[in-house]
């Protein structure tokens, strides 16, 4: 088992290398790593820094889904809990988008407490990225669609962490001001 600070730093480094060159949806040409940093930070704040494995999983939460990274590789490097959390929040990219979304909604109430926190933090970050000054119609429609979807996922995750629940409500309120 890696010491906590080392686990988080090595997770961040692996995430950065695996997502190199990827761009985030939403705000301009923002590097994808910014999303992973935001999710990890939301988890660190929500747990007051007490759960390095959760924060590490936050850094890595999209690596299986978006890169060639495997669950086995993550387990070998970061331990079974980190690998399990990442695998638990990984979408099956072979499914059509509508089915992936429906599956997220259906599966949310059955996730482990840590996976629920990652899901909420991920939705917060993704909504924040879609909130832009003076959005055009396409941006407003995308934001409205994503907020409606996220509310359904987060409904199944609520109660795992009061501060993340409150932060989600805050970002939804911010989104409603531009819709």
- Give pTM, 2 decimals: 0.97
d(CA 155, CA 117): 12
Q: Is 66 a catalytic residue?
A: yes
> Does the pLDDT at position 157 exceed 90?
yes
Catalytic residue list contains 65: yes
Share of the chain above pLDDT 90, in %: 94
From 29, 53, 65, 165, the catalytic residue: 65
- Does residue 29 have a pLDDT over 80? no
Mean pLDDT of 155-174: 98
> By three-state DSSP, how is residue 23 classified?
strand
Q: How many CB atoms lie within 10 A of CB 75?
A: 16
Whether pLDDT at 27 is above 70: no
For residue 22, the model assigns a pLDDT of: 93
Distance between CA atoms of residues 27 and 103, nearest Å: 27
- The residue-averaged pLDDT of 129-135 equals 92
Query: Which one from 38, 51, 66, 106 is the annotated catalytic residue?
Result: 66
CATH number listed for the domain at residues 4-178: 1.10.3210.10
Q: What's the rounded Cα separation, in Å, for the pair 57 and 74?
A: 9
Dihedral sign, Cα of residue 80, residue 85, residue 88, residue 89: negative
The residue with greater pLDDT, 98 or 29, is 98
């Amino acid at each position: 088992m890696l010491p906590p600070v080392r686990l988080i730093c090595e997770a961040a480094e692996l995430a950065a290398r695996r997502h190199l060159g990827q761009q985030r949806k939403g705000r301009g040409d923002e590097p994808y790593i910014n999303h992973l940093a935001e999710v990890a930070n939301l988890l660190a704040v929500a747990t007051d820094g007490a759960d390095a494995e959760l924060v590490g999983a936050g850094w890595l939460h999209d690596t299986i889904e978006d890169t060639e990274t495997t669950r086995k590789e993550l387990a070998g490097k970061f331990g079974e809990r980190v690998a399990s959390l990442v695998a638990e929040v990984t979408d099956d990219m072979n499914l059509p988008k509508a089915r992936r979304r429906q599956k997220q909604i259906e599966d949310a109430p059955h996730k482990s407490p840590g996976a629920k926190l990652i899901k909420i933090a991920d939705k917060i970050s993704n909504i924040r990225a879609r909130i832009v000054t003076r959005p055009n119609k396409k941006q407003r429609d995308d934001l409205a669609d994503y907020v409606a979807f996220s509310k359904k996922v987060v409904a199944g995750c609520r109660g795992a962490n009061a501060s993340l629940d409150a932060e989600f409500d805050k970002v939804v309120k911010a989104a409603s001001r531009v819709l």
